[in-house]
Structure 1
Amino acid sequence: MIRRFFRHFLESLKSLKRNGWMTIAAISSVTITLILVGIFASVILNTAKLATDLENNVRINVYLREGATDQQEMVVNDVGETVQNESYLAIFNQIKDMKDVDNVIYSSKDEQLKHLTDTLGETWNLFAGDANPLYDAYIIETKTPESVKKVADAVAQIDGVSEVRDGEVETERIFKLADLVRTWGLVATVLLLVTAILLISNTIRITIISRSREIQIMRLVGAKNSYIRGPFLLEGAWVGLLGAIAPSALIYFLYQIAYQSVSPSLASQNLSLIPMNIFVPIMVGSLFLVGIVIGAIGSTISMSRFLKI
């Protein structure tokens, strides 16, 4: 068995060299196909990642009533005395105790005004101090995206809450987009791989047709189908392996540029592409694996018509 494998292995290498131009044509076909597969898969995977990030970044903004003292431990009573605030953290604790709530962040109206000033310009400084029209708020992160609506409805019933915003239509659209990308992205990737197998098998078939006499002679001398198929199977795998080199290098180069260019702007929105140290090894390894597999499958499909009795 081992001796036969090495014999087929050497024969496949000789065949690649002997059929020079046909081998180059087959490798070129694999290269072009894998470039398309790699680029398309990169876009789909990162789009799905961004959709998931958007889904997970959906938050609930809870605005407190004007003059709320939920964050004040001490308050001044009607006679001007500083006393313990009986309502200290009353709203916060009710929100925090909800089973679907993961985290609660307090954002004062002054902090919100500063953020608007930093983002939209110095014009917002006109509203500093007593002119600040904003409200103190709690920003809620839920344990699951599906819990957003339920938590928002429950928080709206708490005394002292002025308004609750959970994105409503926008949130629903984000959830639908995430599901759409995952579903159709997977379908499109599978279709592209099937197309790749057909394209490569047709290219390899041309190579095998040019060697049909060689196959007929082997059959006439009594060689079994498995023996005839061996070198061609390995040859197809070699074609897939060699054809994956250029796409892997190209994907690495393009993804590095895209990651460095896009990541800073995405980071400001709590979004990110798949990290380089995770994406590149997986994608490069996948391209080589896919190239070898579809090369071998393409060779097997192409051989089938010549091995029929």
Structure 2
Amino acid sequence: MRHTLRETWSGLRRNLTMTFSVIVTIWVSLTLFGAGLMAMQQIDLVKGRWYDKIELSVFLCVKDSSGGNCTPGADTTDAQRAAIDAALKANPEVERVYYVTKQEAYDEYREVFKDSPLLETVTVDQMQDSYKIKLKNPENYQGVVAEAMGLDGVQNVVDMHTVLDPIFRWLNAVQWGAMLMSGLLLLAAALQIANSIRIAAFSRRRELGIMRLVGASNLYIMAPFLLESLVTGLIGAALSCATLALGFELIVMRNAQVSIKSLQWIDWSHAGIAMGAVAVVAILLSIIPTILATRKYLRV
């Protein structure tokens, strides 16, 4: 054990500049990786909350409606309304169906646009009655929309997916872009670790050959190199976790949660998951390149 620790310290001291560059690369790459994981968890929280509130609105025909499955100059008939109600409730993707009368739509309109100068020009008869649909799985909405659009008496179907989906696509693109950048940096860190270990092993190739000839085990020969890269990786991981914790506290806890209280934010449990993943990746990043780099020196 003393020999392993002595050789590890000697290797770290001999390759100080290389060790420093590896630590910085691991630090930056793991920080991006952890930030990407936290961003992924935040997007999932926001998506779950907003998608859970999404309702489809199926607007029925009125006399001045155009488009859809409307008869010009006529409201949706009672028979059509009953058929629409039955078809929507029979759909396996639908959880609940609410009918909104013209009067209810008019009252809501007056509440929303109470300061509008055009308020008195709109009458109850001009409003559209509608069905509001609560889905079992808000992400499976296409089939319900397609079915509703094909029913007689339906003028239009409106849902928030047309607004939310592009937003989440951009958020996912930013998230995966950060993960891609961190992946490239992790690859660079792995190559740096492998190169530094390869250089250290090459400089001690005669000593390693003698140890192998006298019967030293592969683990005994490899232990100083493994410990050296593990120390480097754990230092980078510790710096990364400290950076993530500081950033989470300053950006999310003290600013985002205070300024945007209506949004559900990740907490320290989510940050802990990201930091745990960072530690696991750091260990793997240290061990795997070292094993690959020292294989040739374990053969006589």
**TM-score higher than 0.5 here?**
yes
Q: Percent identity?
A: 26
Decide which moves more: 239-248 or 122-131. Answer: 122-131
* Shift in CA distance, 259/135, structure 1 to aligned 2, threshold 3 Å: farther
CA-CA distance at 1:174 after TM superposition:
7.2
Matches within 5 A, 1:194-209: 194-209=187-202
Match of 2:47 among 50, 53, 66: 53
Runs of 4 or more above 6 Å deviation: 167-172, 174-189, 264-267
Q: Displacement, 1:128? A: 6.5
Contact kept? 2:56, 2:133, Cα under 8 Å: yes
Matched positions, count: 274
2:232 aligns with 239
**Once the 2 structures are TM-superposed, how far is the Cα of residue 248 of structure 1 from its aligned partner?**
0.6
Tell whether the 8 Å contact from 1:198 to 1:298 is kept in structure 2 after alignment. yes
Query: How far, CA to CA, are the matches of 2:260 and 2:132 in structure 1?
Result: 21
Return the alpha-carbon distance in structure 2 between the equivalents of residues 160 and 32 of structure 1.
Answer: 63
Given that 1:34 and 1:247 are in contact with CA atoms closer than 8 Å, whether structure 2 keeps it comes out as yes
Deviates more, 1:57-66 or 1:180-189: 180-189
For the residue of structure 2 that corresponds to 1:140, the secondary structure is strand
CA deviation string 1:148-198 (max 9, x = no partner): 222123223556544212468768867977997898887776555444322
Output the amino acid matched with 1:288: A
Matches within 5 A, 1:134-283: 135-144=128-137, 147-158=140-151, 161-166=154-159, 193-212=186-205, 214-219=207-212, 221-260=214-253, 261-262=255-256, 275-283=266-274
| In structure 1, C-alpha distance between the alignment counterparts of 2:118 and 2:129, rounded to whole Å | 18
- Which deviates more from structure 2 when the two are superposed, residues 177-186 or residues 17-26? 177-186
Query: Aligned pair in 2 of structure 1 residues 19, 161: CA closer, same or farther (>3 Å)?
Result: same
Q: Alignment partner of 1:306: what SS?
A: helix
CA separation of 1:158 and 1:20: change in aligned 2, threshold 3 A: closer
What does the per-residue CA deviation read over 1:48-97, in whole Å, with 9 as the maximum and x for residues that have no partner? 86378289466422224459xxxxxxxxxxxxxxxxxx99x956565344
1:285 offset after TM fit, Å? 1.0
Provide, for residues 184-223 of structure 1, a one-character-per-residue CA deviation record: whole Å limited to 9, x for no partner: 8877765554443223222333444454454344335442
List runs of 5+ in structure 2 lacking aligned partners.
64-77
Quote the residue 1:301 is aligned against.
292
| In structure 1, C-alpha distance between the alignment counterparts of 2:191 and 2:204, rounded to whole Å | 20
Cα distance, 1:294 vs structure 2: 1.2
Cα distance, 1:175–1:140 mapped onto 2, change above 3 Å: farther
* Bigger mean CA deviation after superposition, 224-233 or 139-148: 139-148
CA-based RMSD? 4.4
Cα distance, 1:241–1:176 mapped onto 2, change above 3 Å: closer
Counterpart contact for 1:100–1:147, Cα < 8 Å: yes
Deviates more, 1:215-224 or 1:147-156: 215-224
Query: 1:111 corresponds to which letter in structure 2?
Result: E
Classify 1:253/1:175 alpha carbon distance in 2 versus 1 (closer, same or farther; 3 Å): closer
